[in-house]
Amino acid sequence: MSEPAQDSLSDIRPDDHEGYMRLALSLATKSPLKPTNYRVGAVMVDKPTNQVLATGYTLELPGNTHAEQCCIEKLAQKYALTGTRLGDALPDAIALYTTVEPCSQRLSGNKPCVDRILEVGKHIKTVYVGVQEPDTFVTGNSSRRKLEDAGIEVLLVSGFERDILEVATAGHKT
């Protein structure tokens, strides 16, 4: 559950969306291969200070955890707050970088990542995604609409699609 050393992140400049997406992609490669999950990486950044607040990847924490969920749970643990109260401790302008669009539905019965993001409140201003969620497990992901309806900007960081999908689907039957 350790975070990358701050020194290893110091070369990512403010608003270097590609640098943060590369970091998220490197985190995704740590996810175990599982035919029923995408291997996803996520990074939460305090935009004004360019400080990485949390990182996460699929199945990093116990349970059937997703990358965005791991970021939020690690921050909640750090501040000893529940996910719904976490916004009270966070800076006002957070960017979330995630290799795959946050899920809008969980077949496992767990809370979808989009709902976890919305619970943090208005602190997450922008969600940067590498690819839209493929229709493999759930069709018609509505995360983008839900986030935008809540005033959160959703932006694609292009150029990583092939690499992200290769990592995300490793371990799936073809």
- Going by C-alpha positions, the residue among 55, 85, 89 that lies closest to residue 70 is 55
Dig out the tokens for 94 from the structure: 């957070």
Half-sphere exposure of residue 85: CA atoms within 13 angstroms, side-chain side: 7
- In order of start, what are the domains of the chain with their CATH numbers? 6-168 (3.40.140.10)
List Cα–Cα distances, 81 to 14, 56, 61, 110, in angstroms: 28, 18, 17, 19
pTM of the model: 0.91
Render pLDDT for 58-110 as a digit per residue (tens, 0 to 9). 999 998 999 999 999 999 999 998 767 888 899 999 999 999 999 988 777 78
Report CA Rg, the chain.
15
Confidence of residue 115 (pLDDT cuts 50, 70, 90): very high
Dig out the tokens for 50 from the structure: 């360019």
Confidence of residue 125 (pLDDT cuts 50, 70, 90): very high
Render pLDDT for 1-48 as a digit per residue (tens, 0 to 9). 344 444 455 589 999 999 999 999 999 999 999 888 899 999 999 999
Half-sphere exposure of residue 64: CA atoms within 13 angstroms, side-chain side: 13
Q: Which residues are catalytic?
A: 68
- The SS3 assignment for 140 reads coil
pLDDT, residue 10, reads 57
